[in-house]
Copies of this chain bind each other. A is one copy, B any other.
């Protein structure tokens, strides 16, 4: 299997991207195609030991920055790593594409190059959250910030297919993110989506409040991309703040408290591993006709490696085939 990897995307590119590619080819039987500035990639590679036959380079002269406007940059930078990566799937030069770069640009380039699966009107980014119970897939977290109720139904169907075939959950429950449990809660948009989900063949469990997501009440939770993105970023922001607050507090603490914190480290490390986003391997861009994984902008090498693995799994498990089948049944 050949996985394309945007070598230029992410806050710590290209170092962690190249490192993650090497970790992936060392652990799995893939070829990773690094897409980006050839000279820069060669320089990064030359500093490292790696299986030379499992890493290739495709030159891309342009880079789309993390904050550039998505549609405009995709249109203008035809020779950027993101645009080339998306086209290479289309041309069957790679089986899947992974990028930790500008999310909007990846969504836009993938949609333009690959088009959408039959029965899908909008792509959606799916993130798998660790919960107190089983992991929960939240879709969409930012591809489509002003969706129609029908798009949320389609997200439910795609999430259902992914949960069944990749996460191996036999009869996944699907919930609608809302600010109250009762079906009358929320905006007109939410209530309309509730009716559509309720009338579908999905195992719909109704409205899910944010705290129920963390309690693991549903396998799949659908929402509009604006709210989903806020969900994701509040989680990240709060968790960052809480950890900084703890460090700050410990700095001012007595020796005994500091010593206690040192002894407690194993428990914290285990929790960190459980909730660490880098373990989950990036967010699948659902609905495009090809396998695209969006890795977090702050990915480290391990996160990149896991995103490459997730991309390969989505190909080998034929997620899109199952999505199309499910959509046809609805």
Q: Contact residues of A with B, CB < 8 Å?
A: 67, 69, 131-132, 142, 145-146, 177, 179-182, 184, 186-188, 190, 209-215, 226-227, 229-231, 233-242, 244-246, 249-250, 253-254, 256-257, 259-268, 270-271, 274-275
B263 near A179: Cβ-Cβ < 8 Å: no
Structural contact, A245 and B177, CB atoms closer than 8 A: no
Residue contacts A-B, CB under 8 angstroms, 16 given: A131-B241, A132-B244, A145-B186, A146-B187, A179-B233, A190-B226, A214-B237, A227-B230, A230-B234, A242-B242, A249-B270, A249-B271, A257-B267, A260-B260, A260-B263, A264-B264
Residues of chain B within 8 A of A188, CB atoms compared: 146
Q: How far is the CA of A67 from the CA of B181 in the complex (A)?
A: 9
A238 x B241 contact (CB < 8 A): no
Using Cβ atoms and an 8 Å threshold, which residues of chain B touch A210?
230, 233-234, 236-237
Residues of chain B within 8 A of A250, CB atoms compared: 264, 267
A212-B237 contact given A245-B274, A263-B256, CB 8 Å threshold = yes
Residue of B nearest to A241 (CB): B214
Oligomer: number of copies: 2
Residues of chain B within 8 A (CB-CB) of A270 are 249
Among B209, B226, B233, B264, point to the contact of A211 (Cβ < 8 A): B233
Do the beta carbons of B245 and A233 come within 8 Å of each other? no
- Is the pair A214, B238 in contact by a Cβ cutoff of 8 Å? yes
The 4 tightest CB contacts between A and B, nearest first, are A260-B263, A211-B237, A214-B241, A260-B264
In whole angstroms, what is the CA distance A259 to B210 when docked?
33
Cross-chain contact of A230 among B67, B146, B231, B263 (Cβ < 8 A): B231
A23 to chain B, nearest CB (A): 27
Q: Are B145 and A187 in contact (CB under 8 A)?
A: yes
Nearest CB on B from A247, distance (A): 10
- Chain B residues with Cβ below 8 Å from A184 are 69
A181 to B260, CA, bound (A): 40
Q: Are B233 and A209 in contact (CB under 8 A)?
A: yes
Q: Are B227 and A254 in contact (CB under 8 A)?
A: no
